[in-house]
Amino acid sequence: MQLKIEGDKDSRGFEDSETAYDYRHEGVLQCVASRLGWLVFFFCGLMLAAVVVEAFEEVLKKEVELSYFVPLLIGHGGNTGSQAVATMIRALALGQVGMQDLFMVVAKEGAAGVIMGTLLGLCILAFSFVWSGITPAVGLTVAVALPVVSLWANVLGAALPILSARLGYNPAVTSAPLMTTIVDSTGLIIYFYIAKWILQL
Amino acid sequence: MQLKIEGDKDSRGFEDSETAYDYRHEGVLQCVASRLGWLVFFFCGLMLAAVVVEAFEEVLKKEVELSYFVPLLIGHGGNTGSQAVATMIRALALGQVGMQDLFMVVAKEGAAGVIMGTLLGLCILAFSFVWSGITPAVGLTVAVALPVVSLWANVLGAALPILSARLGYNPAVTSAPLMTTIVDSTGLIIYFYIAKWILQL
């Protein structure tokens, strides 16, 4: 009988801790305190992206049209990489993939990224012929950069959850923001190097 | 006995459909087919962001330093708005908030966004005095834009899940990508208007 009561207490205690956090009773400063840590971490990653753009200032000054596609390149990298992360987290949870499948997974996700990036890049290239806002040379730059950035984002999105799980971390918590933070800066480096090469800047 | 067998069949059938999708047996083209729809939808939103940057080309040409913070502004807007979305989805699921709380929720999330944006903006302003890459005037522009974009992102992040739930949609599926897509374009419009005002461009 005593055991049963203890059991009930424990059960109630657990439920309380699960639902103890009630949004209605949380003040604005508590909201801030609980969220600022991660926001500052991501913010440092975004500052890195600012430093990368600054490093290619001369390229941007020579061809300001390149700046139009900065949100598109890193936004698309984050989107396609997130799809790879979500697919991997599900496959890991179901035991369908593990460390031994790393090469297969990276190859498959990378190939999917290249195909989707190429299709979307061709749309941008076609668009550059009808939109007066950009020259076809800039359209070609974006069309070449999209599959490369997509490849890189999907490789990271596939590898990070598997490596996280292997190292004992919960892949669902860290993989997506880490992938996005890496792609924001490195995706821009890829974009500007391709621009320098194609536009001969 | 027959009932039990039927029950077993149903149970097995349900499990099969739950786990039928096995990543190991999915080809690259199947990956592409299942993901391209959403990617194209987000891509259209990112094209809008490209059109917005193009519309402010003259501002960027006069002050190229503004382009350094384009990834930071929209990246931070997406991050803080996602925190608001995630908090709302949890509070909705636990029945802690509903349509009648819309004003309270939007006010609380908006205030949290302004406070966090102001703190991070002050960091950028301080940084602009020590980093040779940007002038303090551009630092001030970003410092003013960050709390405004954060306010807007958190208001959307708070309102969209509640409005989605009210309209009968699953708030967990649509709210985060819709918020990000809106913030990408509108956040840049806010940033460039503040830049025109502060830098007198």
In whole angstroms, how far apart are CA A65 and each of A13, A69, A101, B64, B74?
A: 59, 8, 41, 12, 18
Per-residue pLDDT tens over the stretch B8-37 = 444 444 444 445 678 888 899 999 998 999
pLDDT of residue A9: 40
For residues A34 and A22, give the distance between their C-alpha atoms in angstroms, rounded to a whole number: 13
Cβ pair A67:B67 closer than 8 A: yes
Domains belonging to chain B, first-starting first, are 1-55 (no CATH), 56-198 (1.10.357.20)
pLDDT of residue B174: 80
**More confidently predicted of A16 and A169:** A169
Partner A contacted by B48 (CB < 8 A):
no
For residues B105 and B90, give the distance between their C-alpha atoms in angstroms, rounded to a whole number: 13
The nearest alpha carbon in chain B to A127 belongs to B47
pLDDT of residue A16: 46
Q: How far is A194 from chain B (nearest CA, A)?
A: 18
- Does the ipTM exceed 0.95? no
For residues B133 and B68, give the distance between their C-alpha atoms in angstroms, rounded to a whole number: 9
Q: Picking from A12-21, A42-51, A99-108, A124-133, which range would have the lowest pLDDT averaged per residue?
A: A12-21
**More confidently predicted of A14 and A183:** A183
Mean pLDDT of B81-89: 92
Mean pLDDT score across all residues of chain B: 89
Mean pLDDT score across all residues of chain A: 89
Mean pLDDT of B179-197: 96
Helix or strand or coil: residue B94? Answer: coil
Which residue carries 């992206």 as its tokens?
A49
CB A183 within 8 A of CB A74: yes
HEC-encoded secondary structure of B8-61: HHHHHHHHHHHHCCCHHHCCHHHHHHHHHHHHHHHHHHHHHHHHHHHHCHHHHH
Task: Tell me the DSSP string of A61-97.
Answer: HH-GGGGGGHHHHHHHHHHHHHHHHHHHHHHHHTTS-
Partner A contacted by B46 (CB < 8 A):
yes
B40, B52, B54: best mutation site toward chain A, by most A Cβ within 10 Å? B54
Mean pLDDT of B82-88: 92
Cβ pair A32:B112 closer than 8 A: yes
Mean pLDDT of B82-104: 92
- Cα radius of gyration rounded to whole Å, chain B: 22
H or E element in which residue B130 lies: helix B102-130
Mean pLDDT of A123-133: 93
Residue A64, both tokens: 């300001």
Q: Which of B89, B67, B46, B115 is nearest to B175 (CA)?
A: B89
pLDDT of residue A20: 62
